[in-house]
Copies of this chain bind each other. A is one copy, B any other.
């Protein structure tokens, strides 16, 4: 089923059919309806590959995320999709599961598809990946990683500030032995969230921090917490790298017969919807996913980046709920 068949049926040339379909230049209304009817009858759907090959400007952007099971990434994806659809763009999603070879594969796939722009919301990132991306013209937005470069925009959240607020708050509540639950990708020497927690030991000499990590999931949060509490039963607070893992952490704590927050406080990060619906509701730090998604669309589709090589900085704020409280233990 192709243009030619439609053209034959409508007794016009393929050029005319094409014109009608792209409601472009003047076509006599009688021929137009004739063509429309043929299209209708044949249930013709244009071959999108041929269309993009023929040199039309690409009408799709790519979004690569580290873990689509984490609502944080899903929210950003959905925000991008909403913005893209509003401009008549399609978005192609890819998931890396924090594996950097998969990131490379995904990037190549996107390039192969000739997307108009690419957003990489990932923690794993090699220098050569960035280099490869730079070879191709394509506009890119990085979140949370990546160096400023030609035609790449960096969106970063000031995790440092967010984490600091969290730690200060816990310290003021009397917590002195804190466990940090991360996932493997957050434990590299580059990663702000874990680092801030570790560094706060310098600011508070009487503070003790233990760190643990597992995969980024409910299960992972639970396992990491189990390991942490088994190794040090004196912890009075568990700081999690994100809300998802925090919900897993709470599960483990409850299972040990401990109360939250009376025995142990728990904090998350991101402020995903789930953090309001779990029990107890989670103290966390809000990351504006919608805004991030919108920024991505602005840069990739509207080209609203007045300055290329731009950096968008977001200052996250604390959200106090019921999973944190003063220590009753010493």
Contact = CB atoms under 8 A, between A and B. Distances in A.
A95 B217 CA distance: 23
A294 B135 CA distance: 38
Interface string A73-104: 01000100100000000101101000000000
A306 B188 CA distance: 50
A218 B273 contact: yes
Contact of A49 (B52, B92, B95): B52
A190 interface: no
A25 interface: no
A64 interface: no
Contacts of A304: none
A26 B247 CA distance: 56
Contact of A273 (B78, B108, B113, B219): B219
A69 interface: yes
A48 interface: yes
A71 B217 CA distance: 13
A24 interface: no
Given A43-B135, A78-B69, A92-B92, A274 B48 contact: no
Which applies to chain A's interface (DSSP): helix, strand, loop or mixed?
Answer: helix
Nearest to A281: B251
Contact of A277 (B47, B52, B248): B248
A109 interface: yes
A314 B34 CA distance: 48
A328 interface: no
Given A69-B78, A277-B218, A49 B93 contact: no
Interface in A32-65: 43, 45-53
A278 B50 CA distance: 49
Contacts of A74: 68-69, 74
Nearest to A71: B69
A48 B90 contact: no
A222 B218 CA distance: 22
A248 to B, nearest CB: 6
A28 interface: no
A276 B129 CA distance: 38
Contacts of A81: 95
B254 A45 contact: no
Interface in A134-171: 135-136
A112 B46 contact: yes
A126 interface: no
A90 B62 CA distance: 14
Interface string A269-286: 000011011110000000
A330 to B, nearest CB: 27
A132 interface: yes
B274 A43 contact: no
A11 interface: no
A111 interface: yes
A210 interface: no
A256 to B, nearest CB: 14
A9 interface: no
